Each structure stands twice: as C-alpha cells, then as structure tokens.
Amino acid sequence: MNGLLRKSVMVLAAIGLLAAPAVQAGTLKIGAILAETGPAAFLGKPEVKTLKMLVEQVNAKGGILGNKVELVIKDSAGKKENAVSFAKQLIEEEKVFAILGPTRSGSTMAIKNICEQAKTLLISCASTKKIVDPVARYVFKTPQNDSLAVRKIFEEMQKQKISKIAVVVGGTGFGKMGKMFMNKLAPEYGIQVVANETYSPKVTDLSALVTKLKANKDIQAVVNWSIVPAQTILAKNMRQAGWDVPLFQSHGFGNINYVKSGGKATEGIIFPAGRLLVADSLPDDNPQKAVLVQYKNDYESKYKEPVSTFGGHAYDAFMILKKGIETAGSLDKEKVRDAIEHMTFAGTGGVFKFSPKDHSGLGIDAFVMMTVKNGAFAPYHGK
C-alpha cells in the first residue's frame, strides 16, 4: 500500500510539473524594484502607482503580443541591500523577463552587474550617468542624466552672471555623483565652487551649515543635490536665517509633496525637470504633448493626486519595454534588447534616441527650467 501511494504521488507530481508550463504560457512576468517606502518614497510611490495603472490598461487591451502582463513589485525601501537580494530573487526564482527600476542611483549601481551577467534587461528609473557609462548591454535608464541636469543649471547661472556657488549634497549615490559632476563641469561655465558640503541623508536640521555658508559673503547661489527630505529642510533653514540667495535643486525635486512640506520656504527654488510638469502649456505640435497629457489625465483621475516627474520615469521604462517587445515581435530577450537599443520614443522625460553607445537616450533639451510660485510648479523664465 505504501509503495503504491508513493508511486501515485510521484505520477501526480510529474503531471503537475508538466501541466504548470502550459498554465504559464500567455503570461509575461515583469519585475520591478521600487522604493515605495523609506526616504525615497516621494519618488517610488508614484512609480509604483504608474506601473500598476499601465499594466491594468495594457492587460485590458489584450496584453503585450497577446501575453497578459504580470507585474511583480518589490519594495526596496530605498536600500541597496534590499535591491540586491530582490534582483537575485526576481531573476532566479521568479524568472522575470525584465526588471524595471530601481528608484535610486545607489541601488541601481548595486545591481547593474548582476543583471548584466544574468542577461536580464534592466530599465532603471534612477538618474546617475554611471548607470550607462560604461555601457552595459542589458542596462538602460529613463531619467535624464544628472550630468545634463548640472549643465542645465550652470547654463542658467551663466545667464544670471553667477560665478561663485556653494555645493551641498546628500551622502547618497545620487548626491555624490552630483557633487562630482558639479565640481568637474563648473570651470567650463566660468563658475567657481567655493564650498563643498555633504550631509547625512537622515539629517533633520541644517542651521549650523547655513550659518557657516552664510558667513562666506562670496557665495552667490547654493545648489542642493539630494532627494531626501533634507531638500526642503535646507530651504527652510536658509530662509529662516534670512539668507535670500537663489537656491537651485536637482531634477530630484519634481514632486509637489516637497513643495508642500517646505511651504513658503520653497518659493523661488529653481530646478530642471522634464516637460511633464508643464504638459498643458506646451504647443500642440510638440512631439511629447500627446503622451504627457494622456499620462497626466490618466494618473490624476485615477489617483486624485498631481503627477510627478518620477512617475513619468516609470511610465517611460514600461512603455519602452512594451515598444521593444512589440517591435521585436517576439519574447526573445536578445531581439527585444536590440529593438530598444535602436529605438526612438517620445516619452515623458523627453524624446529618447537610444543607440549602442547611448543607453540613456536623452539630451539637455529634455529639460525645462522650473520654479515654485505660490506653492505650485511653474515654468521659470529667468530673473
């Protein structure tokens, strides 16, 4: 009896294993590692919401190439270690077709090699140029390069005849790269960096730093590079100390929640961003306008909150993957990769032109200068 029972169990198990792939056919598993909680939540949450919304829309229309999309989202909480273990899990256990994200530059750099070696497509929502320089065959990204954001800011400073600045960054991957680029590119624009400071990402008050910088009368503007709440703490401390010099932020400022948490102190902050925040005022013949307005309306009516540029990065990542699969006409990873590498795509971040040497696809024209006026984002037209 015992032997018969064991044999029948084995037969059933074998049938089960054979049947399983049959059930799986027609499903496309896409993984996503996003910082839904933690210090980067203002970036990760809109990204998660956007992906969920897009998957719903795509599945309602029959999926991608007839395959239903199954989205596997992992919350990295903004931590590199989590990103690494989730990447391994998604690749080895879940066997996803591609990974979207992570949200943060540090997390992306931590999994860049893992994905490259596993030959799994990684389309990151993080911005540092190092993600695509040196180019890895399977790694792409959708935000504009941080080096370009720096250039955009410096161009604006040149117009305003600002030549001496203070650089203040958060001690994260994003911040350190920003500091490196700012110091490296400043001489090209005739700008001198007279102070370089790094703060801990968890800092809760920067008034001592503001005292130190304000005492240096040479400083004509301050550039802050981080995505943590300290972005707005710095603004508050500066205005409370009565220091009115222009404050420039990175393109990590594009979520209205930062403005809400900083209140009046954020008035007049200048930062580069994609055109998503000014979608409605674009001329009709702008190649991005249709995509931007559609995404903005869909997101805002579904989630009842304003769009942010970060959700846009996730939108671009998903749509680029979708277009890549549809162009390749199959679920062959190599063909999809090749399709993406030669793609031109009008997205929320800009008009992407990928190439084997350029896995970021965006130039400095993807940016517009924005500012905060009366508690809302507005285009910046200079002083």
264 binds other proteins (CB under 8 A): yes
Beta-carbon neighbour count of residue 245 at 10 Å? 15
Q: Which stretch binds other proteins (CB under 8 A): 25-33, 56-64, 211-219, 351-359?
A: 211-219
119 binds other proteins (CB under 8 A): no
Question: For residues 254 and 377, what is the distance between their CA atoms, to the nearest angstrom?
Answer: 9
Which is nearer to other proteins, 212 or 342 (by Cβ)? Answer: 212
Q: Which stretch binds other proteins (CB under 8 A): 137-145, 146-154, 259-267, 280-288?
A: 259-267
Beta-carbon neighbour count of residue 72 at 10 Å? 16
263 binds other proteins (CB under 8 A): yes
212 binds other proteins (CB under 8 A): yes
Backbone angle region of 242, left / alpha / beta, with phi > 0 → left and psi within -120 to 50 → alpha: left
Pick from 240, 297, 330, 355 the residue near other proteins by CB under 8 A.
240
| Least distance (Å) between residue 359 CB and other proteins | 31
**Residue 208, exposed/middle/buried by CB under 10 A (0-12, 13-18, 19+)?**
exposed
Question: For residues 337 and 122, what is the distance between their CA atoms, to the nearest angstrom?
Answer: 10
Which is nearer to other proteins, 229 or 312 (by Cβ)? Answer: 229
**What track of x and - describes contact with other proteins for positions 316 through 335 (by CB under 8 A)?**
--------------------
The CB-side HSE value for 143 (13 A sphere, CA atoms) comes to 35
Question: For residues 170 and 172, what is the distance between their CA atoms, to the nearest angstrom?
Answer: 6
Residues across the chain: 383
Question: For residues 273 and 286, what is the distance between their CA atoms, to the nearest angstrom?
Answer: 16
Pick from 31, 229, 311, 361 the residue near other proteins by CB under 8 A.
229
Question: For residues 163 and 221, what is the distance between their CA atoms, to the nearest angstrom?
Answer: 9
Q: Which helix (H) or strand (E) holds 157?
A: helix 146-159
**What track of x and - describes contact with other proteins for positions 134 through 173 (by CB under 8 A)?**
-------------------------------------x--
Task: From 202, 251, 256, 189, select the one nearest 223 (Cα to Cα).
Answer: 251
| Least distance (Å) between residue 264 CB and other proteins | 5
The footprint of other proteins on this chain (CB under 8 A) covers a number of residues equal to 34
Distances 285 to 282, 288, 289, 380 between C-alpha atoms, Å: 8, 9, 7, 21
Which is nearer to other proteins, 117 or 216 (by Cβ)? Answer: 216
Which is nearer to other proteins, 95 or 202 (by Cβ)? Answer: 202
Pick from 211, 294, 330, 344 the residue near other proteins by CB under 8 A.
211
Which is nearer to other proteins, 236 or 322 (by Cβ)? Answer: 236
Which is nearer to other proteins, 86 or 138 (by Cβ)? Answer: 86
**What track of x and - describes contact with other proteins for positions 32 through 51 (by CB under 8 A)?**
----xxx--x----------
The DSSP bridge pattern shows strands 247-249 and 221-225 to be: parallel
Residues that bind other proteins (CB under 8 A): 36-38, 41, 171, 196-200, 202-209, 211-212, 215, 229, 233, 236, 239-242, 257, 261-265
